[in-house]
Structure 1
Amino acid sequence: MVNPRESIQRAGTLLEMRRPADAERELRGVLAVRPDHFTAHSLLGLALVQQGKAAEAVSSAQEAVRLAPDQSYPHYMAGQVYLRIRRPDLAITSVRASLAHNPEQASAWELLARAHLMMGQYREVVDAARRGLAIDPQVSDLVSLLAVAHEKLGEAEEARAAAANAVQLDPESATAHLAYGRAALIAGDPRTAAEAFREVLRLDPGFDPARELLVTALKHRNPLYRILTHLRRFRGGWQMVFLLPVIPPLIIVFVLIAVLHWAAWVAEAVTVLRLARARATRLLFEGVEARAALAGCALLVAGAAVLAAGVALGQEALGMAGAAVMALVTPVQEATHTGSARGRGILYGWAGLLGIAIVASATIGSPTIALLSVYAGLGTIWVAAGVRRLSPVSES
């Protein structure tokens, strides 16, 4: 004989233990004898969505709401389901319905904050987190969400203070340490950020975002890398091109931007190669990123050698070809750091064409082709921007 109360309790425990399939069996047993049990339907929705059964999960969550529209719990659980299937708009609607019935539920405010965070509505995250903390100021995850929202808004001091509070409330919370690391990173303290991200990985070794952020923090420990990375964010608006006929000297600005980007990519290659070879950090770097860094450094050295040979031999075309080889660092790095597989393919193809042009310029002794290859290589920053716009990451 199925005891619904005991089965519901067991299902809840199984969900906490990340055993959704076992929880599903318990809940279906309850629904076999009590098909109108809205709590069982709500928990079943969560068990199903944790197994990747999105359509069934939504159906179960909606059935729970239909059976008990005046209860806060089914609306709250429906919000959990919607958030997990990345429909934060529906999650917000559901959790607001839950709060309309029970506004003194800190967990509902936390869910609302998470939904707004997924939508990039950071002021709303701050408001929801503060409303939840007014009910229970000891919820570390709410404080962490508040820290993340401040960080996204560029409010470094508020972010760091909130994150430190989150860590103090729950030193074993990976979320709290992640927020603290992000806050330290935007505050310009990559050393502290790296320590925080290492703590996240200790608490949750499979959390890939923390691994990526740790790599970023380690790179930013290099002062030159930090400076050049900030400069790399500026590419100049495409509207500036229309000013060239009116202000020809503006071409100098384009050249300066391209050269600074090239220097930043060189710093990227050198920094990554150093970290990828160090015993303490080599495991953090994927093969592709390490190989691209090695290729970038090799192009730099080879190009410098060819340039020097060209100068020593008095062969202008050879020297210019060496400069073009050095400029290839930009297209190789731009391709490697493009999220879309299609975009990467296009940019690697572009780099290959430039390589052929460089070899041809040295072979036939044409400094003009080599010089154009230099310009094309350095100008890849704008080619890459266009490719990324036409080939978003979702297509990969």
Structure 2
Amino acid sequence: MVKTGDPLARARLLLQMSRPADAERELRGLLAEEPQHVGAHALLGLALVQQDRTGEALEESGEAVRLAPDDWMPHYLSGQVHYMAGLIEEAARASAAGIALQPEYAPLWELLARVHMKRRNWVQMAECARYGLRIEPEDADLAALLAIALTMLGEHEQARAAAAQAVANDPESVRAHWALGRAALAAGDPRTAAESFREVLRLNPGFESARDCLVIALKERNPVQRTLSRLRQRFVGGWRLLFLLPALPPVILVFVIIALLHWAAWIAESWTTLRLARAKATRLLFERAAARVSMLCLGLAGAGAILVGLGVGLGWEELGLAGAATMALVTPVQEAAHTGSPAGRRVLYGWAVLLAVVALGAMVTSAFPPALLAVYAALGTIWIAAGVRKIFRPRQEV
């Protein structure tokens, strides 16, 4: 039972304890006595949005701003309500209005930094975090936000320093350890990243993004996987290169090298994932689907290699080419598995099945051209998948 003489103080404490329904009761009781209490309206908006009652929350926060337009606090709480409701532009306007009235309140700069993070405006996010830190140098959340912005800007050393400072300021901060893990992973230090993400999950076991990043960090501790993964990310090849093919046919060699590089990286990914998914210490981090996809890809690579060997040994070119097409299917299967949108995954899995049917038909009928086209199409799925992901975007990106 929360005991204090001030209902507004009780409501604040209840909100800190993640008890918004109890906070709402306190605030409605206060408003029954004082219908124009600015703080009660503002905090009630926060309590309501935490209960997913967005319309009521916006009404209450709007009423608080209407009652006290020259007070920075209603603008700040309105910004929080809009931010939690996913109304980012409105949150930006509210936080900017609060800053105009009270520029020396660090949480306002933190809110605006989070708004810029949603907008993916990394430079502005870093500027807001730095300004807030000038006001509150020991604020762990602001230091963590600065570290995330610097990570996204590629300033890895500064990002790690800011994240380390955030952890030092508050060793129990989930955001601080998350920022340190992100910075370490981007800087090529998967061991430190894995330790940080484990700490995030200790503090907040339901943090799914940390679980995903821990899996990535564990995979990248394999030097082969790490090298191939970074090469794959660096050498993608733009679709505009296609326009150079008529004028510069040798450019096709660039496409072949990039496609083979991605294929090798997916093989390494499959091996690393299957090994970690079977290890006692890490298997709980992996869904069964990930292990099944990895096993399928390694099976395709093995079966294709056997067919290639038989084709070479028997002098049967069509069989060898069908084997190469089977091995190449690793790319479309992994591209489908690593697509965030369910609709995009279905499209790419359908594409993989179509290529598998073509490869099988070519092997049965000893047809050379379809088998060759299946090889090219499978390896070239990296560009098809890029287009599919642009069309079918996941609702929420990490």
RMSD: 1.7
Aligned length: 394
Instruction: State the shift of 1:88 in Å.
Output: 2.5
Counterpart residue type for residue 226 of structure 1: R
Residue in structure 1 matched with residue 27 of structure 2 by the alignment: 27
Q: Could you say which residue in structure 2 is the equivalent of 1:187?
A: 187
Matched, 1:62 2:73: no
Aligned structure 1 segments of 4 or more residues deviating by more than 4 angstroms: none
Q: Report Cα offsets for 1:259-288 as digits up to 9, x if no partner.
A: 111111111111111111111111111222
Superimposed CA distance per residue, residues 136-163 of structure 1 (whole angstroms, 9 cap, x where no aligned partner): 2111111111111111111011101111
Q: Name the counterpart of 2:121.
A: 121
Moved more, 344-353 or 28-37: 28-37
Please give the alpha-carbon distance, in whole angstroms, between the structure 2 residues aligned to 1:82 and 1:93: 10
In structure 2, the residue matched to 1:310 is 311
Query: Identity across aligned pairs (percent)?
Result: 57
Alignment CA distance shift 1:161-1:296 (3 Å): same
Amino acid at match of 1:153: L
2:292 alignment partner in structure 1: 291
Match of residue 365 from structure 1: 366
Taking structure 2 as the reference length, what is the TM-score of the superposition? 0.95
Aligned residues of 1:341 and 1:395 also touching (Cα < 8 A) = no
How many angstroms apart in 1 are the aligned matches of 2:130 and 2:396?
A: 38
CA distance in 2, matches of 1:114, 1:237: 32
The 2-side partners of 1:162 and 1:148 are apart by 9
| 2:330 pairs with 1:329 | yes
In structure 2, C-alpha distance between the alignment counterparts of 1:390 and 1:119, rounded to whole Å: 20
Letter of the 1:316 partner, please give it. Answer: E
The answer to whether the aligner puts 1:393 opposite 2:380 as a matched pair is no
**Unpaired segments of 5 or more residues in structure 2?**
none
Residues 244 and 250, structure 1, Cα contact 8 Å, conserved in 2: yes
Pairing of 1:178-257 with structure 2 (within 5 A)? 178-233=178-233, 234-257=235-258
Stretch moving more, 63-72 or 283-292: 283-292
Contact conserved, 1:75 with 1:97, CA < 8 A, in 2?
yes
CA contact (8 A) 1:340 1:395 kept: no
CA change 1:346–1:395 in 2 (3 A) is farther
Letter in 1 for 2:356: G
CA distance in 1, matches of 2:159, 2:57: 35
- Matched ranges for 1:72-83 at <5 A: 72-83=72-83
Greater alpha carbon shift after TM alignment, 187-196 vs 94-103: 94-103
TM-score, normalised relative to structure 1: 0.96
Structure 1 unpaired stretches of 5+: none
Deviation of residue 69 (structure 1)?
Answer: 1.0
Q: Distance in 2 between matches of 1:369 and 1:79?
A: 59
How far does the alpha carbon of each residue in 1:130-185 deviate from its partner, in whole angstroms, 9 at most, with x for none? 22222221111111111111111110111011111111111111111111111111
